[in-house]
Structure 1
Amino acid sequence: MTRRDNVEYGDREIAMPNEILRSVVGSGVHGIAIEGTDDHDEMGVYIEPPEYLLGVERHRDDYIWRTQPEGVRSGPGDTDLVMYSLQKYLRLAIKGNPTVMLPLFAPEQSLVVLTPLGEELRALRTSFLSRLAVERFLGYMRSQHERMLGQSKRNVPNRPELIVKYGWDVKYGSHALRLAHQGYEIAGTGTLTLPMPTREREQVLAVKRGEVPRDEVSREIGRLEAAVRDLLDTGRTPLLATADYTLISAWAVDAQRRHWGWV
């Protein structure tokens, strides 16, 4: 049998030595991993050399490594690593990408790499949260909810084993419910708790274990979405409209200059 190589894109020799932050992401950091059913996901941030940013040649601004070969879904025991250049990471985080937010809020036990610059970046975490970020959480939630209900344009489930076992994809359901809870927390409090608070975590785990009917899960997702919308529409949220671009940009310029030894 022909051996298929794992996936690797980008320049490892640029990403790894210049890494400032990496954490576990995915189910593990949320506290909803079920042993023997989840892969291991990590996300990191690195600072590119100055010639990558100031020169005219184009370079990849990420590094990706996966245990499995191209086209093969990751499974239990597999590792997926995604690393972004600082500039790309900040652009995604400012827009409120839910997964990209995780290294900023991950608990200490989920951190894999943390340098002084990484600590500074994490100290800015609440500056990234905004009403725009909540809208992104809701957008991702709706996408997962549609897939849970079989209403997505991607009609073929990518986890047919769950369809056979439960009659529906409970993992989509758990993702949608998690995002709904987290969107509500961010909109109401201006922060994100990781791992998830106990009550919400147990609710999501029950869905992931197939213990809650799909219709009941869908109703709870709808209830939470309506509650989030009410907080945003009535202004009962501590969040600003967008992330603090000025603060984040000023830090990024200074951090890169220090990393390059320009100060």
Structure 2
Amino acid sequence: MSENPDHTEHGNAAIARSGEILRTEVGSGLHGIAIAGTDDHDEMGVFIEPPECAVGLRGPMNHYVWRTQPEGHRSSHGDTDLVMYSLRKFLKLAIAGNPTILLPLFAPEASVYTATDLGAELRDLAPAFLSQRAVERFVGYLDGQTDRLLNRGQGSMPNRPELVEQYGYDVKYASHALRLGLQGLEIAEHARLTLPMPDADRQRVLHVKSGGVAELDTVLAEIASIRARIVALLESGATALPAEPDTDRISAWSIDAHRRHWHSHHGF
């Protein structure tokens, strides 16, 4: 992927690639809501840092980024955006319930591009990350997308004025908010995250994303209704989710995973 001299690249590619344990599709394609001819291709990976970065004095390498487009240019159809996180950084973000970070843990096998034995073990840990805290993060991200949709807050102006001109509102922001609500509700109700989205939910999000809902107020009302259902589940204690992720289990596995990787790759 380094043939285009105008691409964007941050971080040490050699460290990220040599330590890679997991890489999957993320983004609209994974959710099942990509629209042919319009969406780019997103991937996320996880790598284990060498000892000199994790425990030595070289300093941590938290992530590596590669994008088809040059810095400051928006990705478009046919472009690839790849972000790779060190295992330590990935686990911190996943424990916090970051909706995007959780995706590689639940991606179907067809969307998994690389999975070493350690990568497979990480995916097996997926249920340990789901918690009420994660659901709260989904609600927070939903609110953020809604604020951008409504131009609320500093720096929240739509970056897709062509969609506003065509449909009357930014249908991508609206579809993202709706998707986050539906996925947060699924986690709260069933302690799972289905990818791609269940068909009825997927079709509803696609309907909004493709401009099929003319009135913004209609979309906002649905988003608000789903959000209220999530909050009610959390506040009533009706969800089976634990309050927090199983950090002890995740941390113990991380320590062991680093030891095994360093032993096999660095002779430690």
User: Which aligned pairs between 1:39-78 and structure 2 lie closer than 5 A?
Assistant: 39-78=40-79
Give SS of 1:156's match: coil
Q: Corresponding residue for 1:231?
A: 233
Q: Corresponding residue for 2:14?
A: 13
Give SS of 1:246's match: helix
Alpha-carbon distance between aligned partners in 2 of 1:168 and 1:105, rounded to the nearest angstrom: 31
1:4 positional shift: 6.7
Amino acid at match of 1:150: N
Q: Corresponding residue for 2:89?
A: 88
Q: Corresponding residue for 1:180?
A: 181
Alpha-carbon distance between aligned partners in 2 of 1:70 and 1:141, rounded to the nearest angstrom: 27
Alpha-carbon distance between aligned partners in 2 of 1:98 and 1:144, rounded to the nearest angstrom: 13
Q: Corresponding residue for 2:220?
A: 218
Instruction: Summarize deviations over 1:121-144 as a string: whole Å, max 9, x none.
Output: 000001001111001000000010
1:97 aligns with 2:93: no
Alpha-carbon distance between aligned partners in 2 of 1:4 and 1:215, rounded to the nearest angstrom: 44
1:155 positional shift: 4.4
* Structure 2: gaps spanning 5 or more residues: none
Q: Corresponding residue for 1:153?
A: 154
Q: Verify the 8 A CA contact 1:143 1:152 in the aligned structure 2.
A: no
Normalised TM-score (structure 2): 0.95
Give SS of 1:98's match: coil
Normalised TM-score (structure 1): 0.96
1:260 positional shift: 1.0
Give SS of 2:176's match: helix
1:17 positional shift: 1.4
Alpha-carbon distance between aligned partners in 2 of 1:152 and 1:236, rounded to the nearest angstrom: 33
Alpha-carbon distance between aligned partners in 1 of 2:180 and 2:157, rounded to the nearest angstrom: 23
Give SS of 1:73's match: coil
User: Which aligned pairs between 1:105-254 and structure 2 lie closer than 5 A?
Assistant: 105-212=106-213, 213-254=215-256
Q: Verify the 8 A CA contact 1:162 1:168 in the aligned structure 2.
A: yes
Alpha-carbon distance between aligned partners in 1 of 2:157 and 2:200, rounded to the nearest angstrom: 32
Instruction: Summarize deviations over 1:140-196 as a string: whole Å, max 9, x none.
Output: 000101212222422432111101111110000000000000010001111100000
Give SS of 1:258's match: helix
